[in-house]
């Protein structure tokens, strides 16, 4: 009678580029009785720390080749990972070939996102991770150093990983592989020598997003919501500092993004105006107040004056450090979010007295290449609408040219109108929005809403329309409100009627040749 077989020690395969925390993990596994197998570089590190480890080549008897391109691509490795322990035939295959099962794979890849190129495309790592994730019924897989301590704790407590843990790790591993492949596809898409680079809309889009922030709720309290970030990419929200207030909701974040982008769109990025103190007030995704002034306190007061009723419970964004002169009056107005590049200490202390005010400090936003919206079965995709007030491409179509003051207001109103929901009319005077008509089904009504809100403050100011006036009635409304200069794309079959109407009222009108609908 043969003696009973000696239970084999569990075996871990370690092959990592990012070696953070790997020594602690390896030491912990050895203390638990695990046997370690590792690739060359990882073996050198671990053995240098006095940790018992077997190099991969010692069990494959196949030295690395092709300058390291082939290391772990071997039946001894993948057979040990992929074997179904419940299948006697597969286990006999291992026995016949003297292959030991592998119970845990620890791997991460060459850093393609930070060092893209052909030689940074990892082959062996993704193959091992995919194999282990497929066979998660028997094999654990670790791709994130942040998980090492938790996994060690579970092994110390229970001697093995639970089915739930292995499944969770497998999902994370497949997501890790997917994000890696997506980064490679994006690299190919960005190759300037490729025919694919001609069309900004590629044959396919591969999104890899990770949940990084849970939000209080969605558009309504019964909806759950979170912010996701593109894997490997950091935006202004990732570095933003919250100085006070409640957690952000979906709409808080959505509206703050709109305000933050607009306040910077009115700066030097438009290519014409100098970067000056600017304030924006947003409500339900649309600005209800915008102004440029000599200092940030005056800018906010002027922006608030545009529509104080709508500003109640709104979002405020400024492109300058918040001063006490701004903080004191703002604290008296119910505001959901204030976002700025910085705060004077006394101003921040004063604002923190408002328990419900979310006080954010953020870096300037960036602009994505593509705009995506969900529809049934997929996405609508378009290039991002970049707005630059390039007056060299604009055409004065009326008898009268705009004055210098009118030109300044026309540029300002045009940049604001491009960030307001269509149909849009913006009335501005002295680079202050005095009336904004947003999201109307016809242009005349948009003009009337703007005129009603302006309440006489548009006299001698400018009007911006995000699309052409299809009839003269819309122009007549803004003329009656006091606007003396108009900027619009042009392109209507009745342009001549609208131009004639402007000439009759001694208005200056400029065509941009470019529409900025926003839905």
The catalytic residues are 134, 284
Give the residues across from 335 on adjacent strands: 314
Place of tokens 């703002």: 330
Give the pLDDT confidence score for residue 2 in this predicted structure. Answer: 43
Distance CA 231, CA 229 (A): 6
Architecture of domain 239-361: 3-Layer(aba) Sandwich (3.40)
395: left (phi over 0), alpha (psi -120 to 50) or beta: beta
Q: What are phi and psi of 461, to 5 degrees?
A: -100, -165
Query: 193: Cβ–Cβ under 8 A, 6 or more apart, which residues?
Result: none
Report the DSSP beta bridge partners of residue 378.
Answer: 375
Q: Are the folds of 11-186 and 239-361 the same? A: no
**Token couple for 505:** 């009222």
Q: Residue 201's pLDDT is what?
A: 83
The CA distance from 72 to 427, in Å, is: 67
CATH code matching the domain that covers 391-511, chosen among 3.40.50.720, 3.40.140.20, 2.60.40.10, 3.40.190.10:
3.40.140.20
pLDDT single digits (tens) 409-431: 999 999 999 999 999 999 999 99
State the DSSP code for 27.
H
pLDDT recorded at residue 192? 62
Residue 134: its pLDDT value, please?
95
Angle made by CA atoms 322, 407, 513, in degrees to the nearest 5: 110
pLDDT at 271: 43
End-to-end CA distance of the chain: 81
User: For every residue of 472-511, which 3-state class applies, written as one string?
Assistant: HHHHHHHHHCCCCEEEECCCCCCHHHHHHHHHHCCCEEEE
Task: Please tell me the distance from the alpha carbon of residue 501 to that of residue 172, in angstroms, as a whole number.
Answer: 64
The domain ranges of the chain are 11-186, 239-361, 391-511
Q: Strand, helix or coil at 152?
A: helix
β-pair type (378-383, 286-292) = unpaired
Architecture of domain 11-186: 3-Layer(aba) Sandwich (3.40)
Provide the pLDDT for residue 4: 46
Using the CB atoms, write b or e for 482-492: b if 16+ within 10 Å.
bbbbbbbbbee
Over the chain (519 residues), the average pLDDT of each successive run of 10 is: 61 91 94 91 91 88 76 85 91 88 92 80 88 95 94 92 95 93 86 68 87 93 94 89 92 95 76 75 95 96 96 96 97 96 97 94 90 90 87 94 96 94 95 94 94 95 95 95 96 94 96 91
- Cα dihedral sign, 96-98-104-108: negative
| Pairing state between β 226-230 and 286-292 | unpaired
């Amino acid at each position: 009678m043969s003696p009973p077989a000696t239970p084999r020690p569990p075996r871990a395969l370690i092959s990592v580029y990012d070696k953070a925390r790997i020594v602690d993990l390896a030491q912990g596994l050895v203390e638990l009785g695990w046997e370690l197998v590792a690739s060359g570089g990882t073996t050198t590190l671990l053995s240098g720390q006095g940790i018992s480890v077997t190099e991969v080549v010692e069990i494959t008897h196949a030295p690395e080749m092709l300058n390291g391109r082939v290391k772990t691509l071997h039946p001894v490795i993948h057979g040990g990972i992929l074997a179904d322990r419940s299948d006697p035939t597969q286990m006999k295959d291992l026995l016949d070939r003297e292959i030991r099962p592998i119970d845990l794979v620890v791997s991460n890849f060459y850093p393609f996102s930070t060092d893209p190129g052909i030689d940074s495309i990892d082959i062996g790592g993704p193959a091992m991770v995919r194999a282990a994730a497929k066979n998660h019924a028997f094999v654990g897989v670790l791709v994130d150093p942040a998980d090492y301590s938790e996994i060690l704790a579970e092994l110390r407590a229970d001697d093995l990983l639970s089915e739930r843990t292995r499944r969770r790790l497998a999902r994370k591993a497949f997501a890790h592989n997917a994000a890696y492949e997506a980064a490679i596809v994006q690299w190919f898409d960005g190759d300037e020598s490729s025919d694919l680079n001609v069309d900004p809309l590629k044959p396919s889009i591969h999104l890899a997003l990770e949940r990084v922030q849970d939000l209080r709720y969605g558009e309504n309290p019964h909806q759950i919501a979170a912010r996701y970030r593109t894997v490997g990419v950091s935006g202004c929200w990732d570095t933003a500092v919250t100085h006070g207030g409640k957690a952000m909701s979906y709409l808080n974040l959505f509206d703050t993004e709109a305000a933050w982008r607009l306040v910077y769109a009115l700066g030097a990025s438009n290519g014409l105006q100098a970067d000056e103190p600017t304030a924006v007030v947003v409500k339900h995704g649309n600005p209800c107040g915008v102004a440029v002034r000599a200092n940030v306190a005056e800018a906010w007061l002027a922006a608030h004056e545009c529509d104080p009723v709508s500003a109640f419970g709104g979002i405020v964004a400024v492109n300058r450090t918040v001063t006490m002169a701004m903080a004191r009056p703002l604290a008296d107005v119910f505001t959901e979010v204030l976002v700025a590049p910085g705060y004077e200490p006394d101003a921040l202390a004063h604002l923190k007295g408002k328990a419900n005010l979310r006080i954010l400090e953020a870096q300037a936003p960036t602009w994505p290449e593509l705009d995506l919206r969900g529809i049934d079965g997929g996405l609508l995709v378009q290039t991002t609408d970049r707005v630059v007030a390039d007056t060299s491409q604009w055409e004065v179509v009326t008898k009268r040219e705009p004055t210098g003051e009118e030109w300044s207001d026309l540029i300002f109103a045009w940049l604001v109108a491009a960030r307001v929901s269509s149909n849009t009319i913006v009335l501005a005077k002295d680079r202050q929005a005095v009336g904004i008509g947003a999201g109307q089904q016809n242009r005349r009504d948009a003009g009337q809403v703007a005129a009603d809100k302006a309440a006489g403050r548009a006299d001698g100011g400018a009007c911006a329309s995000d699309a052409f006036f299809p009839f003269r009635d819309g122009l007549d409304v803004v003329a009656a409100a006091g606007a003396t200069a108009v900027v619009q794309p042009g392109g209507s079959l009745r342009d001549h009627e609208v131009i004639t109407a402007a000439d009759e009222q001694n208005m200056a009108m400029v065509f941009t040749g470019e529409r900025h609908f926003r839905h």
